[in-house]
Amino acid sequence: MTAARSAPHILTLVALSGIAALSMNVFLPSLPGMARYFGVDYAVMQLSVSAYIGATALLQLVAGPISDRYGRRPVVLGGLVIFIAATIGTLLAQTIAGFMFFRLLQSVIAVCLLVPRAVIRDQYEGAEAASMIGYVTMGMAVVPMIAPVIGGFLDESFGWQANFAAMGFIAFLVMLLAWWDLGETVRDGGLSIQQQIANYPMLARSVRFWGYCAAATFSSGCFFAYLGGAPFVGLNVFQMTPAEVGYYFMAPSIGYLTGNFLSGRFARSIGINRMILLGAVLCAVALAFSLVCDLAGLISPWTFFGAIVFMGMGNGMVLPNANAGMMNVRPELAGTASGLGGALTVAGGAILSALAGALLTPGSGATPLLVIMCASALGSLIAILWVFRRERQLARRR
């Protein structure tokens, strides 16, 4: 009962975010092999990424308000139980339809993305919240950095099913940790659904809220497009093995880890808006460089994945600060803002991931993927400039 009354340790929040990240990318090196196993095209198998991301978006819309009303703890524990059951279903599935059903059910783990952010906002404000989110996501970034490497090894050693077995086992351990340590941070029994609905218009009318949402959506869109297209580029453009693809998949996580550290270290002194701007510029410049190299016929694993490192660094600077900005608009709706912002982020990512998978065909090279990522990075930059412009207008009115 003590856990239900005490705030969670930061490592618990890292573990919750980490299992959500693990479920998204540990099996990516297995996608071509899974397509052969189920007898479908790669584009169909890639839906296990893009459709999963889309389901994650919808679930965050629901889970955010529920966590504001009933608390963070029951939402997380319930989500983990369902995720473990769905993971067992993916291992037992005999057809692609059965697998996709349970894979979409796994998206309930999205609660472990939005709740840690809301928990931090329950305890901290402004740039301090951005700093703490940066540290949490810095720890979480280690998971997507090593998961594809482990996934590639498990695939080559035991088959694709080993990746899903590992997911289920780790989720069970995280559930035990959450049961023991995840304290409830929603005060006074939460905000009723009726009160939340009454406050929605204030959130919806905020230009700053939508600017932060757009900055996060387009910045993370670069990464989601990469998730959808990089396995194809690695295997078909650079002729890599699944294990090699897993190694190179560390690229964005190395950058993201660095960007998260910079956010945690400097958000308080620089401010969230300037951190977002710096990250958006870095992301756009790095991807533009890689696209120019590709168009000039100089594409290589170093120019492609090297740019992805800096893209990840930019994301690591943009996302913690943009998420803190969203939740600062209406602090009493932190869960709702986190869920809505997260839903928009992953919905945009689902579209870009599916688009990357559809446009990457034999002979296309890496160009379609780089064009998509460059356009998304430019969108993030425009969004934060829009926030700056809005805040200058408000300052002049005062």
Q: What is the structure's pLDDT at 289?
A: 95
Q: Where in the chain does DSSP place strands (E)?
A: none
- Whether this prediction's pTM lies above 0.85 is answered by no
Q: What is the structure's pLDDT at 91?
A: 93
Q: What is the mean pLDDT of each run of 10 residues along the chain (398 residues)?
A: 58 87 82 85 79 80 79 90 95 91 92 84 73 73 73 85 92 94 72 65 78 90 82 79 73 83 84 92 95 88 89 91 80 68 74 76 80 93 91 75
DSSP string, 260-310: HHHHHHHHHHH-HHHHHHHHHHHHHHHHHHHHHHHHTT---HHHHHHHHHH
11-180+200-397 CATH choice from 3.90.580.10, 3.40.718.10, 3.40.50.1110, 1.20.1250.20: 1.20.1250.20
CB hemisphere CA count around 265 (13 angstroms): 8
Q: What is the structure's pLDDT at 140?
A: 65
Q: What is the structure's pLDDT at 3?
A: 42
Residues 103, 334: Cα–Cα separation, whole Å:
28
Q: What amino acid is encoded at 360 in this protein? A: L
Q: What is the structure's pLDDT at 2?
A: 38
